[in-house]
Structure 1
Amino acid sequence: MEEQLSRLDLARWIREGDTVVWGQACAEPLSLTERLLEQRERIGRFRCFLGIPASDTVRPEHADRVSFVSYCGSGGNRALHRAGVLDVLPVHYSALPGVLAEGPLRADVALVQLPPPDSDGRYGLGLADDYLTSAIDAARVVIAEVNDQLPRVHGPRTLAPTDIDVVVRTSRPPAEVKHEPPGPVTLRIAAHVAGLIEDGSTLQFGIGALPEAVLGLLGDRRDLGIHSGLLTDAAMELIEAGVVTGARKSTDRGVAVAGLLMGSHKLLRSADGHPGIRLRETAYTHHPDVLAAQHRLVAVNSAVEVDLTGQVNAEVAGGRYVGAVGGAADFLRGAARSHGGLPVVALPSTAGDRSRIVARLSGPVSTARSDAGLVVTEYGVADLRGQPLRVRRKRLLAIARPDHRPALEAALEQGEFACPR
């Protein structure tokens, strides 16, 4: 059925105790989420599963009626965590489809933002497939905001009118994500990472200024491919420049595959109807066999800190939840299995006056040392693959900031270390 937004009563469709899921980042159906939080008192206590926010729709004061759970502490989720109203789900990104399809976090209601239907009357998923497909399939109710300003991005999943319970038509710019220009340290790290990437490689990259800076340094490469959780402005620029062709990919040849678009309105306009882009579900983008089959998969992910054995904390900084377990381990393992692949973790050597190469992690182990590959800071590259602990310590010390190295060595001598020497 179709309703006007001004008359939409979400309490007719959402029950007390329900779990509500919507598309993350640019895919957030802003009119629906705004309406949802305005009407929260009429619905009763319910729960929202949040991804990465690209808006300020959700705020701590909404916790008077809403319970919030997320796999990440990015963006606006940090304010929720600081206020003590965000429950964190510490799982690999590849597990999210199963989490939202069954069990205590099964999606009851899915809110989606869709472009207008095609000539066959079917709706594409707009700007994200990723875990949204699983939420749609599990949900008792699917409510769609059909936005005529939303680009059509190709992907195998579409919805028939019978798959949707309520349609609301809107016309507004989607949410966008913009990155700050990279600073000198970020550019030095990016240069080290870019130097590892050969022609014909298939790229996976995480979120933030550092991956964008790496992509920005690849303009002289040829026949790169993309298989990633997200597609960004810098990646789109490489596609439009003919640097990313996917011509040497083992699977999805000639096509850049991602779970969602995350970037500016320029990215969204460029992706509209682009034949070289496909959005796929998380069960595909993060599948271990799909990743291992990629030609020369280079996985570039960031971290909060790395200890001297290669363990990675990508979740907690200064006692606050700022990141996620995310898809790093999925992609690092996939890159390690890929022929010619490179599993890369990149980070600045310091945060303020504190070293981010540490003797002991200050937060959880997000990625085990058994999955360690190459660790990169502005001081160089530490290749930990196949190396015993003694060699790992030496190589990681070499990429710490020089004035922090004596303290790290002293911590080793005093036994302040994550494992016996």
Structure 2
Amino acid sequence: MTVADLDFRDIVRAGDFVVWGQACAEPVPLTERLLAQRAEFGGITCFLGIPVADTVTPEHADHIRFVGYCGSGGNRALAAAGVLDIYPGHYSTLPAYVSRANVVLVQCAPPDARGRYSLSLADDYLTAAIDSARVVVAEVNDQAPATSGSRYLTARDIDIEVRTSRPVVRSLSTPASPEVTAIGERIAAVVPDGATLQFGIGSVPEAVLGALGEHNDLGIHSGILTDAVVDLIDKGVVTNDRKTADRGVSVAALLLGSPRLFDHAHHNPAVSLRPIEYTHDPARLAAQHRFVAINSAIEVDLTGQVNAEVAGGRYVGAVGGGAEFLRGAARSAGGVPIVALPATAGARTRIVGRLSGPVSTARSDAGVVVTEYGVADLRGTTLSERRERLLAIAHPDHREALRAKEFPC
């Protein structure tokens, strides 16, 4: 079947919950077709992950209710327009949430000699959605990489197959500012050789990876893989040889990058895409020797609480897997749980007396906080000790005003 032959009026029912692959894994021809026919369904709900393609716009909310776990990328416009409902759960709970899916849209690589369709660019929460859906529509894209993992589809799993040939949507990284570069260098200094890394999305984690070029025998167990990881593999920095589990293999839930990353992962057994139940499993994370979690934040208050979701009254981030990875790193032998952020956003301090948004990570899970001005290790510290260490990494222009603020209990 071609996209032109696909009629969602025969597939989607009023009230259905529709899920599709996120980021580079989005089956764009399928989602575009679905949105074009949205007035025919009588009202459906669509779950959005991280958007890379500009497929969904606020205008599409006239007949569709949109739910997402994050406010990044194109979701930011939906949130600003008031048409994005937020699921505020930990990333590990997404499989249970999407298991209510009625219709799932996925992008696959063509079947191999054994008739197996690779999920190509993402497994993450798709496995849970596929296993529960009434209908699975698969875009089989002959330009999608065939990746290894724990899950493949067969013809029995696919209800409707649509053949395409198109370049995979790519995600472009943004150049790092001097402040972000400095943060990357500070974090690299506390990452030990032989560590297994988890990193989030954005310029700060990318800067950290860019600063690790002199390290040895690093491993990857993360939510994402990016082009920066390929750079470290090519340099011999990432070998995965000292991982406790999955030795020799970079493990992630999805690929987020350019054709360089996709080509690297194609038919490469040293890259494995796994479901969230595997990548975010607390016991598995804690068991990794020297597990280092590197995640960004919007604000950190003087007690160590983290807001990773709301800035200026708008939902721009996510609960995501930050707290889960930080806990895993805290329990890992030799692990380091890191939250990183620039000290300021414009004229505003990001080390704050009180958060202006929700508590995404509790102060009881506080680990190491890094800005361009230094490293504040909050592990095993009292509230007054945390206050002093966080003041020391705030922007110098804001330290006096922060010190004068009433200290939250």
Deviation sequence 1:285-319 (CA, Å, 0-9, x none): 00000000111000000000000000000000000
2:36 paired residue number: 38
Any idea what SS the aligned residue of 2:337 has? strand
Any idea what SS the aligned residue of 1:33 has? helix
Q: Take 1:120 and 1:213, find their aligned partners in 2: how far apart are those partners?
A: 41
1:410 paired residue number: 404
- Are 2:15 and 1:17 aligned? yes
Structure 1 residue 269 displacement after superposition: 1.6
1:87 paired residue number: 85
1:240 paired residue number: 234
Q: TM-score, normalised by structure 1?
A: 0.96
2:54 paired residue number: 56
- Are 2:171 and 1:177 aligned? yes
1:224 paired residue number: 218
2:262 paired residue number: 268
2:316 paired residue number: 322
Aligned pairs, number: 409
Q: Take 1:5 and 1:359, find their aligned partners in 2: how far apart are those partners?
A: 53
Any idea what SS the aligned residue of 2:156 has? helix
Structure 2: which amino acid aligns with 1:22? W
Alignment RMSD (CA, Å): 0.7
- Are 2:255 and 1:255 aligned? no
Structure 1 residue 80 displacement after superposition: 0.2
2:288 paired residue number: 294
Structure 2: which amino acid aligns with 1:377? T
Structure 1 residue 239 displacement after superposition: 1.6
Q: Take 1:26 and 1:254, find their aligned partners in 2: how far apart are those partners?
A: 25
Q: Take 2:386 and 2:107, find their aligned partners in 1: how far apart are those partners?
A: 47
The gaps in structure 1 that reach 5 residues or longer are: none
Any idea what SS the aligned residue of 1:228 has? coil
Structure 2: which amino acid aligns with 1:213? A
Structure 1 residue 215 displacement after superposition: 0.4
1:100 paired residue number: 98
Q: Take 2:110 and 2:41, find their aligned partners in 1: how far apart are those partners?
A: 29
Q: Take 1:43 and 1:131, find their aligned partners in 2: how far apart are those partners?
A: 25
Matching of residues 16-415 of structure 1 within 5 Å: 16-101=14-99, 106-411=100-405, 415=406
Structure 1 residue 44 displacement after superposition: 2.1
Q: Is the 8 A contact 2:22 2:50 kept in 1?
A: yes
Structure 1 residue 236 displacement after superposition: 1.5
Q: TM-score, normalised by structure 2?
A: 0.99
Deviation sequence 1:113-171 (CA, Å, 0-9, x none): 00000001110111000011101011111000000000111112001101100000000
Query: Identity across aligned pairs (percent)?
Result: 65
Q: Take 1:177 and 1:10, find their aligned partners in 2: how far apart are those partners?
A: 28
Q: Is the 8 A contact 2:140 2:163 kept in 1?
A: yes
Structure 1 residue 221 displacement after superposition: 1.0
Q: Take 1:125 and 1:119, find their aligned partners in 2: how far apart are those partners?
A: 16
